[in-house]
């Protein structure tokens, strides 16, 4: 695809959004949760781990730990053992305990609803904060940029950046704010179901005609 103007890229992005919306009308966060705290914990655990594995772990975890204080007061070794199979369990346990201690001390045990307050918590980067804000509170503060969003936004020619913050900034300029959270879900679902890292199914891709990488990978 030849170099396109900003206006042309925006128009193509709108067509991509429309096609993905038709393809994945039920797209949603695939981490299981029933409240903001559970989603925060699950998202911290999801770093370098599949949602499927996290959901297996949290099925038992959420039954044992219900409040931020429960995590903050949990013995490190006991929490580490409970989340061991998600990988990097020592660091995750340390972050979860510190994060929840801050929730108890600063927010009465509740999960805050702003990017700055969430981002200041241990183990919470922009991606985690965006996941919580968009899915627990319906607040579109930014675009979740994970490995799928990074891969697809580059393949689709929506960005040439590899840094998550820079990718997010470009996507926020292209996508209407009210669709920021959903746009992430659409790309993630497409990445898992059609546009895999190793073997993208370009032949059957619903947005093939809008993708400059189609048939070239």
Which residues have a catalytic role annotated?
A: 127, 146
Between the CA of residue 147 and those of 154, 185, 188, what are the distances in Å? 11, 12, 9
Calpha distance 197→192 (Å, rounded): 9
Residue 115 backbone zone (phi > 0: left; psi -120 to 50: alpha; other: beta):
alpha
The distance from CA 1 to its chain's CA centroid, rounded to whole angstroms, is 29
Calpha distance 98→89 (Å, rounded): 14
Q: Whose CA is closest to 124, among 49, 30, 44? A: 44
| Coil, strand or helix at 8 | helix
């Amino acid at each position: 695809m030849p170099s396109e103007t900003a206006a042309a890229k925006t128009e193509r992005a709108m067509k991509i959004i429309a096609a993905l919306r038709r393809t994945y009308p039920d797209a949603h966060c695939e981490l299981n949760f029933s409240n903001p705290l559970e989603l925060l914990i699950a998202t911290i655990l999801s770093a370098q781990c599949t949602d499927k594995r996290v959901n297996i772990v949290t099925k038992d975890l959420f039954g044992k730990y219900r409040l931020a204080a429960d995590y903050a007061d949990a013995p490190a070794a006991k929490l580490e053992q409970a989340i061991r199979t998600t990988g990097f369990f020592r660091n995750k346990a340390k972050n979860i305990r510190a994060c929840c201690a801050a929730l108890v001390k600063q927010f009465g045990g509740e999960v805050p609803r702003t990017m700055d307050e969430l981002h200041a918590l241990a183990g919470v980067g922009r991606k985690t904060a965006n996941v919580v804000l968009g899915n627990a509170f319906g607040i579109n503060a930014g675009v979740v940029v994970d490995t799928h969003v990074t891969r697809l936004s580059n393949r689709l020619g929506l960005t040439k950046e590899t840094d998550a913050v820079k990718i997010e900034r470009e996507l926020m300029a292209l996508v209407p704010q009210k669709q920021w959270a959903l746009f992430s879900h659409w790309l993630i679902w497409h990445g898992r179901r059609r546009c895999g890292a190793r073997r993208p199914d370009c032949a059957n891709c619903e947005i093939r005609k809008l993708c400059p990488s189609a048939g070239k990978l």
